[in-house]
Amino acid sequence: MPKPKTTKKKKRNILESSFVIPLEASVRDAMGAITDNQRGAVILIGAHGRLHGILSDGDIRRAMLSGFTLETPVEKIANMHPVTLTASERNKGKGEEIFEKETSITLLPVVGSKNELLDVVIREPKKRKPW
């Protein structure tokens, strides 16, 4: 009897998701990604997938009121010191603790030893559309 075929679950690539944009992106690009991910924020990465910051829709609103435009590079208005987790902290549930204390945080970047983005912890992931 032949073995049944097993299908491997395709591993998601966080760097290709709407939660992540390149550091060189414009505010317009960030707004598109935020609309797609439905989380009110987007993570900025540079070379080699390294985390540089987070940009929220609130950051964008404040920047627009200050005279920035849709073509402004996101690195000029982003939070370049976001709250992050290590993989070990994620596995211990620290993300949930942070979400309880910091109600404005919707995305938590999980970073490796060289500040490379490994994953994203999302507040209430089943409440919005999956990516």
State the residue for tokens 């797609």.
36
Number of structural domains (the chain) is 1
Find the CATH number of the domain harbouring 74.
3.10.580.10
Would you report the helix, strand and coil content of the chain in percent, each value rounded to 5?
A: 30, 25, 45
Short-list 89, 80, 112, 103, CA closest to 15: 112
Whole-prediction pTM value? 0.84
- Tell whether 117 is covered by a domain: yes
Average pLDDT over residues 25-46: 96
Q: CB of 78 within 8 A of CB of 53?
A: yes
- Tell whether 78 is covered by a domain: yes
pLDDT at 5 over 90: no
Q: Which domain holds residue 64?
A: 17-122
- Tell whether 26 is covered by a domain: yes
For 86-131, the pLDDT digits (tens) are 999 999 999 999 999 999 999 999 999 999 999 999 988 766 555 4
Q: What are the Cα distances from residue 103, in Å, to 27, 96, 123, 124?
A: 24, 11, 9, 12
